[in-house]
A and B are shown apart, each in its own frame.
Chain A
Amino acid sequence: MKYLFYLLQRIAIVVIATLGLCRQGVAQQVLYKNKDTAVAAADTVSWVKGIMKASDSTGIIRNNDLFLRTATAGAASDLHISEVRKLPYLTIEQALIGRVTGVDIRIPTAEPGKRSSMFIRGTSSLLLKNSDLFYAQPLYVVDGMPLIQEHAYAYDIQRFDFNRMGTETNTLAGLDINDIESISVLKDFGATARYGPLAANGVVSITTRGPRVGKMQVAVNAYAGLALRPPADVVNGKYESDFRMPFYREYANETQWRNFPRYLADSSQPRYFGPANWDDLFYRNAFCDGIQAAVSGGTPFANFRFSIGQVAQQGVADRTGLQRYDVNFGINIMPVRNLIFTAYIGVAALKRKRNEFIRDRAGDEDYLFNYDAPLSPNKQFLQQYYTDLDNTINRNRNNTARIIANAQYSFGKYFTWNTRFGIDYTQNFRDFFVPTSLGEGNSYVSNYDGLNKRLLLDNSLQYRRTFNDKHTLDLVAGQSSTWDKWRYDYGRAYKGKSDYIKIYQPGNNDSKEGRFANLRLMFNAKDYTQSNLASFYFNAGYNYGQKYFVNLYLRRDGTSYLSGENRWLLSPTVAASWKVSAEDFLAGASWLSNLQLRASWGRVGRLLMDELYKGGPVYNVDAGWNGIPNMSTYNGFPVINAAYGTGYVMPGTQWPYVEQLNAGLDAAFLHDRLRISLDVYAKTDRNLMLRVPTPEEEGYTGVIKNGMSIRNYGYELALDADIIQGTQFRWTTGITLYSNQNKLLALPDGLTDLVIGKRRFLVGKPADRYWLLINDGIYESDAAVPVNPATGKRMSYQGVPLKKGDPRWQDLDGNYDINNNDRVMRGRLSPAAMGGFSNTFQYGPFELNLLFNFAAGRKVINEALANRFDFANREGIDDPKSIKEITWWSKVEGDYSKVPRYNPWSAVYAYQPEQTLFLEDASYIRLRALTLAYTLRSARLEKAGVSLLRIYATGNNLFTITNYKGGDPEAVSFMGYDEGYYNWAVPRAFTLGFNFQF
């Protein structure tokens, strides 16, 4: 009830604010009319509209759009935004799942607003750790402004590869879906090349609802909903003890028995053997709501749109949530004829309530506590813990501002000059305080203040002319400059004097005892990097009678991340299209309404993401060791060493680049009732940077140089059909299908085989496979272990003889030693085929939409299950893996029957996740969204000035069909490991909402 009251209050505020502005707008309009003479000719109005529409490009290159946009899907996939608007999506990634082709979206956890990941047409780099993901993300372009993304450099000073320092908030969560006019995913270089090197990973182009010409209109959209508390299969100490006992009985020696965990040893203590009901404190039914109001209108000479929105979404687990406020303003002004000035301003403030994982806290603190005793599964013993959690500070705020100013001036008959200036600015703050009660008596504080800023200046001149009504020539020359800057200030301090001092203010050299803590118990870091990009471009487009299109785009980019001689890259893109259906010989074919063939080839540079590559080998401060990444002095004197840990940077680093060949076909039949779009592509990344191994005896971990090449190839298919098109009843169905394959073409130095961490990379083979031992059962006795007749030695694992209870792994090379040569590359996270299946039924004012998304040929390593059995190596050690979250007290989902009872104490690491035993099929089909809308139409309403009144209800993630025996098949880590309780399943959620326009 309290919540409802709160909601109503906020709705009221937003509506009042909007109405107030609306009145002002009307007044202005009246004023303008008075001033204005009869200049506003009808053609101006349409011309203005046309220009506003094209505002999503950098500069003006329109010919290309013409033939790319005629397709509903394919090389540039548009999203059916009207459906998405009804759904409670916080991020763009969520909105795209199952709705567009060519994207692979990974959302490891359902924590609202947390960083997620998207790969367009495969990944062009090796994904081994979190920081690699940052370099593989697509470019988001909002109203022609390419947004700056978070930089991975903060990982440089982090000991654990968990969260990046800072807020870890999805940078795209600042956009309100109700402010978005359209979202297209651009894949073809014909469409993306003009965004230059920023777009090497593909582009998600977002156009916001800009100002409009016409009568003042107010739109109010609101929804509220509920995500259901997920069922939890909770367990207590008895369950765990019963699970472990058979292993102890069979394998444990005296020492291991002695080390039987204390918390499981005494079944009389209620702390661990009482009823398991922690889930009451951890899970909840979570509310979400959103309200957004917009007012727009104006004359052709001055028109605007203003919107204000608020969204709040609670997570079902761990009291997480996200709250956002956003304000958007757009204006078009035509001060003199032929000059149009457009300005968009969007600001958003996000506040994220994060999880309370013990692991993440350890990561933040860079300090491991004693994890001998886990939390109790019983509520009674948890109250104190939750009270202590209330005394933490865990504030995560992102403030973003996006400003775009565009001036367009037409002169002569055929020339248009366009200047655009844009700023994208994100500041993110994280304040983190852990009281003494959660830190073994020591408090901790850290503050992070990060800034990402991009400035863009783009000037272009267009010459566009149509000769004899047939030949259209479109020439554009332009220049564009991008200034990117990332910066952060970070400080942390341990052992505060009092739990009431929660600010970071340690001592200095004069007064070693600071307000918070001793000078030595603090750590400060600052980082800064700047990447500038200067570009010149030229585009020549020609079409003949809207039938034949050709386009040549040339671009020269210079980056500040490379040295003078290697700085510039020339990249061409050619595209052509033939609208077959416009030919005379098909003029009579009434069954065919559209047939178009497209082809493009292009090359785009790939921006480097670090400053290391300018002048050969670099020096840094790398005097730490495992667990101490940031040691920087010896005997109090500063240290500078050659960058042995980073690698030897070969002088003469060049641009990596991507080449893509794309062929497409768009067809429509029976008066556009059946629409098909098919694209095939081959995208090849060349000259990628990679650290390749070098003899360790020179101290370096590797040599960093150009030379890796990866190809992604596949197809995308979209099929839409209006099956029934009655006046009362309509049924439209659509299916999308996307398949991507990946292949490593080359490694630097002619290497053909490379092992990095847990993965192997073989030239000619896919670069995204797991690397696993093949299970073949268990050795029931020592005698069952084969003996090498040549040496008389027993089969071994990396030189350690196998014994009773050890896994029977296949010895592929027959040398009686199981090692890396016996691993096979098998299975991958990115599905062999994925897509969506949507159906829309319309009956009178009712509309029902169902969206299924599916993935086939997708494999996941059920690490949670592996860890479950590997308890022996995860107990009471100074390592994050001995951390047991509260959710540890739930049954790990999985097929236990298939896992043999290995000796968990064996030195051969019997339950390592990297074996076929834990590789599971994670294909699935999911009813992702169901929406039911009712549009109210009546003469009375229209008379009252109401142009739209619609109410709707939605259901999300209603059911999933999958073979996967673990948890949610979609909730796995970026690298394809199901980490169990660190990957929260998406909850089932229902919302109710309305759209109101007047």
Chain B
Amino acid sequence: MKKILLLLLLTTISCRKMLDIPSRRALTEENMWQNKNDARAGLDACYALMRSAILNENAHWIYGELRAGDFQVTRRGDLQAVVESNLNASFSTMDEWRDWRRFYAAIAQCNLTIARLPEVTKRDYRYSANDMRLDLAQAVYVRAFLYYYIVRIWGDVPLVTLPADGTVKTFPRENSQQVLDFAAAEALRSVEGLPWKYNGQSPEQQGQYRGQGEDHHRSIFATKGMAYTLAAHIYHWKKDYVNSLKYADLIINSQGQTSYDFVTLNDLTRTGGSFRGRTFNNIFQVDMNFDHAEISTTGQLEDWTLRDPFIPKRESEIYVPKDSVLNIYNDRHDQRPDYFFTKMEETFPVFYKMKQIDNEVKNPVLKLYSSCVIIFRYEELFLLRAEARLRLGRKDGTDDLNSVRSRRSLKNLNPDLFTIDALMEEVFLERRRELIGEGWHWYDLVHFGKIPSYTNLTAADVARGAALWPISQQALINNKSLVQNNFWK
């Protein structure tokens, strides 16, 4: 009997031990933000969630390219609906594109990281205040970029800057100009904490960053150059060309610091070229990388533009019709069509600008793509500055235009022979030629006010907000203070 009682007692005592087992699957709040690794993993999540939002169902090209009409659809009904700006159509992918949750998840991760990083410095001596300032500045940059990105899609968006705390809140839409002002201020704030390069030579970043050399981080992790470029773009979208020009100038004049440079067509399009990235030609890229097994079957433009014999697929999802190619590249000296297109002799040419299929997944092809998304590159920045100068009545914008043209075997334009408006048109067309497939053309149509002449939307539609995307039903249901964009009501 004694033994029995003893046994009973023992089992009771062991109860707490039995139930207090640490979780192996879930990382809880109390265990996060403890040390340097937590801080860095939390920061990387800002970048990674940004990538998720941009690549989900090829969103980058849906928002930035397809509605503009240069690309045509072979058979997918959902893509056809996007090309026709029939954005309320009922497709599961369309639900994804209308929905901004993934962008806000990335923003939330930035908000969280910005709020929590300072705690880590106090807890982990290895994580110096200097480390923290650099990482924080990166999160600030990513958040500013994301707001810039979504304002272009939905217009007025809620401005959320604090992490979730479990309390119920409402998030009304904020005037897009205010959001852009916030983003611009944040981009400039981030400059202070960011280095020009991750080479350990600047007060902002000393020693080896995360055990890797300068080239590992190039055009991927935020730098001063990226932040100024972003600021220039935000002001550009605001049509504040004075400021846009100011920051564009600042970067271009800091070439000694940034080492940014133009890219040859060969380097732009070759496997392992610009769409592999980490070059001085790319200012900012959303990274994918075969070496890190950051490869995917969906999310890259290749998945939609390639076909037999490059990947096992009879028809690509989208293509640029032959007539369009000839029309877009109407100067026979232009080398770009040869680099950007192939199979021109067939009914459906293949858009061949991006084709990052690593040798390891060739012969036969396993559809795992690894191309990065180039957000900003040097040519694009020059065309931006060209426009800003012209908008301010400065004909020297032509010089910027010509620096791109000359590198593509086009003749220099003589500013004296053109009006400002005509030069502006040339900038627009040059952007279309140079940046095709990189997710700019639709935004250019919006910015240059050319939607009615390039798409089936009328000026009246645009005035009613047709250039914006509708907000998803899910977002509207979950946040009662949201109001649908006018045109899509």
- Chain A contacts to B: CB under 8 angstroms: 153, 255-256, 259, 262, 367-370, 372, 411, 417, 440-442, 457, 459, 461, 479, 481, 483, 494-495, 518-521, 527-530, 532, 534, 558-560, 564, 567, 610-612, 614-620, 623-628, 631, 633-642, 644-645, 648, 650-651, 693-701, 703, 749, 755, 796-800, 819-820, 872-873, 875-878, 905, 907-909, 912
Contacts and interface: CB of A to CB of B under 8 A. Distances in A.
A816 B354 CA distance: 44
A816 to B, nearest CB: 12
Contacts of A628: 296-299
Interface string B451-489: 000000000000000000010011101110000000010
The 10 closest A-B pairs by CB, nearest first: A699-B108, A799-B88, A441-B364, A627-B298, A641-B45, A699-B105, A623-B48, A615-B28, A640-B41, A625-B56
B481 to A, nearest CB: 9
A797 B90 contact: yes
Nearest to A693: B478
Interface centre among A461, A614, A635 (most CB of B within 10 A): A635
B166 A648 contact: yes
Interface stretch (B12-20, B255-263, B433-441): B12-20
B108 A483 contact: no
Nearest to A643: B26
Interface in B203-233: 210, 212, 216-217, 220-221
B76 A625 contact: no
B478 A694 contact: yes
12 contacts: A372-B313, A483-B18, A560-B19, A611-B24, A620-B27, A627-B299, A636-B289, A639-B41, A639-B48, A697-B475, A699-B105, A912-B90
Nearest to B87: A799
B244 interface: no
Contacts of B365: 440
B287 A558 contact: no
Contact of B364 (A442, A459, A697): A442
A529 B21 CA distance: 10
Interface in B365-381: 365-368
A798 B90 CA distance: 7
A909 B88 CA distance: 12
B290 interface: yes
Interface string B169-212: 11100000000000000000000000000000000000000101
B91 interface: yes
Contact of B52 (A625, A638, A877, A878): A625
A105 B304 CA distance: 44
A642 B108 contact: yes
Contacts of B315: 876
Contacts of A695: 169-171, 475, 478-479
Nearest to A650: B166
A695 B105 CA distance: 11
Contact of A626 (B56, B158, B293, B312): B56
A518 B368 CA distance: 13
Given A255-B75, A696-B99, A520 B293 contact: yes
A623 B52 contact: yes
B36 to A, nearest CB: 12
Task: Kindly state the interface size class of chain B when it binds its partner.
Answer: 35 or more
Contacts of B100: 696
B27 A640 contact: yes
Contacts of A558: 15, 19
Contacts of A648: 164, 166
Given A534-B19, A699-B107, A703-B166, A905 B77 contact: yes
A875 B315 CA distance: 12
A527 B294 CA distance: 21
Nearest to B39: A640
B101 A907 contact: no
Interface stretch (B3-11, B62-70, B333-341, B400-408): B3-11
B364 to A, nearest CB: 3
A908 B90 contact: yes
A876 B312 CA distance: 12
Nearest to A616: B29
A441 B477 CA distance: 47
B182 to A, nearest CB: 14
B45 A640 contact: yes
B55 A625 contact: yes
Given A697-B479, A698-B160, A876-B315, A907 B299 contact: no
B291 A636 contact: yes
Nearest to A568: B19
Nearest to B21: A560
A651 B294 contact: no
Given A627-B298, A640-B27, A440 B312 contact: yes
Interface centre among A442, A457, A696 (most CB of B within 10 A): A696
B299 A633 contact: no
A521 B361 contact: yes
A797 B90 CA distance: 8
B360 interface: yes
A368 B291 contact: no
Contacts of A620: 26-27
B75 A644 contact: no
A131 B56 CA distance: 24
Given A695-B479, A697-B160, A626 B171 contact: no
B240 interface: no
Interface string B42-77: 101101110111011100000000000000001111
Interface centre among A616, A641, A644, A905 (most CB of B within 10 A): A641
B475 to A, nearest CB: 5
A637 B26 contact: no
B326 interface: no
B447 interface: no
A633 B164 contact: no
A520 B369 CA distance: 12
Contacts of A912: 90
Interface centre among B48, B210, B315, B365 (most CB of A within 10 A): B48
Contact of B29 (A567, A618, A701): A618
Contacts of A644: 49, 101, 105, 108-109
Given A648-B166, A698-B108, A627 B75 contact: no
A697 B158 contact: yes
B413 interface: no
A461 B289 contact: no
B32 A634 contact: no
B136 interface: no
Contacts of A256: 75
Contact of B25 (A518, A529, A616): A529
B109 A699 contact: yes
Contacts of A610: 25-26
B292 A635 contact: yes
B13 to A, nearest CB: 11
Nearest to B489: A799
Contacts of B7: 459
Nearest to A412: B1
A368 B297 contact: yes
Contacts of B475: 695-697
A616 B477 CA distance: 25
A631 B477 contact: no
A372 B11 CA distance: 63
B399 interface: no
Nearest to A417: B4
B396 interface: no
Nearest to B479: A695
Interface centre among B45, B99, B297 (most CB of A within 10 A): B45
Contacts of B293: 519-521, 633
Contacts of B11: 457, 459, 479, 481
B32 A619 contact: yes
A532 B77 contact: no
A877 B106 CA distance: 29
Interface string B75-93: 1110001000010111100
A642 B101 contact: no
Contacts of B292: 520, 633, 635-636
